[in-house]
Amino acid sequence: MRKLFFNSIFIIAVTLLIVSCGSKAGSKSEKLAGEVLIDGSSTVYPMSEAVAEEFRTVQPDVKVTVGESGTGGGFKKFGRAETDINDASRPIRPEEAEACKANNVAFLELEVAYDGLAVMVNPKNTWANDIKVSELKKLWEPDAQGKITKWNQIRPEWPDKEIHLFGAGTASGTFDYFTEAIVGEAKSSRGDYTASEDDNVLVQGIASDELALGYFGLAYFENNKDKLKLLPVDDEKADNGDGPILPNLENVKNKTYSPLSRPLFIYVNSKSLERKEVQTFVSFYIENASTLAAEVGYIPLNTAEYEASKKRWSDFLSQHAN
Judged by phi (left if over 0) then psi (alpha if -120 to 50, else beta), residue 82 lies in: alpha
H helices of the chain, in order, are 2-20, 45-58, 71-79, 94-102, 133-140, 173-178, 199-207, 218-222, 249-253, 276-296, 303-320
User: Which residues face 264 on adjacent strands?
Assistant: 113
- Contact call for residue 207 and another protein (CB under 8 A): yes
Q: Does 170 bind another protein (CB under 8 A)?
A: yes
Amino acid at 232: P
Should residue 142 be labelled a site residue for another protein when binding is judged by CB under 8 A? yes
Using the minimum distance from each CB to another protein, give the nearer residue, 208 or 302.
208
C-alpha closest to that of 48 among 1, 88, 9:
88
Report the distance separating Cα 129 and Cα 134, nearest Å. Answer: 15
The 10 Å Cβ neighbour count of residue 185 is 11
Query: Which of 3, 5, 94, 146 touches another protein (CB under 8 A)?
Result: 146
User: Does residue 21 bind another protein (CB under 8 A)?
Assistant: no
Of residues 30 and 192, the one with the C-beta less far from another protein: 192
Binding piece for another protein, criterion CB under 8 A, among 73-81, 88-96, 183-191, 272-280: 183-191
Instruction: Let me know: does 109 contact 290? Beta carbons within 8 Å.
Output: no
Count of residues touching another protein (by CB under 8 A): 30
Per CB under 8 A, does 192 bind another protein? Answer: yes
Nearest to 112 by CA among 43, 55, 203: 43
- Check residue 243 for interaction with another protein (CB under 8 A): no
How far apart, in Å, are the Cα atoms of 172 and each of 43, 199, 216, 246? 9, 10, 10, 24
Q: Given the complex with another protein, which of 41 and 189 has the nearer CB atom? A: 189
CB of 168 to another protein, least distance (A): 11
Candidate residues 79, 205, 259, 300; the one interacting with another protein per rule CB under 8 A: 205
Nearer CB in complex with another protein: 53/210: 210
Residue 233, CA atoms < 13 Å, CB-side half-sphere:
30
Stretch that binds another protein, among 33-41, 198-206, 279-287, 293-301 (CB under 8 A): 198-206
- Interface with another protein includes 194 (CB under 8 A)? yes
140 binds another protein (CB under 8 A): no
Phi/psi of residue 314, each to 5°? -70, -35
**200 contacts another protein (rule: CB under 8 A):** no
* 120 is a contact residue toward another protein (CB under 8 A): no
Which residue from 45, 178, 193, 265 is in contact with another protein, where contact means CB under 8 A? 193
Amino acid, single-letter form, for residue 269: N
Interface with another protein by CB under 8 A: which residues? 142-143, 145-146, 162, 164-165, 169-171, 187-197, 201, 204-205, 207-212
